[in-house]
Amino acid sequence: MDKPIRSGCPINLTLETLGDRWSLIVIRDIMFGNLRHYRDLLNHSLEGIASNILADRLRKLVDKGLLSTSPDPAHMQKTIYSLTEPAIQLVPLIAQMGAWGRRFTPVTRELSIRAQLLEEGGPEMWEAFMAELRHLHLGTEPPQRSVLGELTEAYLAVVGETADEHASIAENKTGRA
């Protein structure tokens, strides 16, 4: 049963839908990580979401129409979670949240590179990303550009640089440089 809404204000209603601690994180992980199964979301959450919380948020996001489910043809006991059009339309909001977070919070380079690229790419990149998400989650025609590929490549490059930096620091500390 839905709780009664506090007001008809669009900001209030958006917060009532997405304003808990985990809903946008789950959407982020499906959107940017292409994590589509419960176990993948549970095991690959950087923030360490608890299993009962994840199950609750997935159910709520499905109930709110932000995710849809389908049986996994490769494993009938698994469910595939897909973004719906309203969730895909969150890309500009998520891009703006990432931009704000880069400016005003102590982010790490590897976890903020995708936000940086989305901010720099602006609405043109957001539209291309939404087209790609529609293809992946709604079965539309494949786009010409893979923004997800670009974001993943940039993330992996920064992770590689960070690993190289850590290895260099460790070598210097042990005197093997």
Lowest mean pLDDT among 40-49, 131-140, 167-176: 167-176
pLDDT per residue as tens digits for the range 14-69: 888 888 889 999 999 999 999 999 999 999 999 999 999 999 999 999 999 999 99
For the segment 77-95, the average pLDDT, to the nearest whole number, is 97
Residue 1 has pLDDT above 80, yes or no: no
DSSP string, 89-115: TTHHHHHHHHHHHHHHS---HHHHHHH
Q: Is the pLDDT of residue 165 over 80?
A: no
Helices 91-104 and 109-138: crossing angle in degrees, nearest 10, is: 180
Q: Which domains can be identified in the chain, with CATH numbers?
A: 1-83 (1.10.10.10), 84-176 (no CATH)
- Average of per-residue pLDDT values in the chain: 91
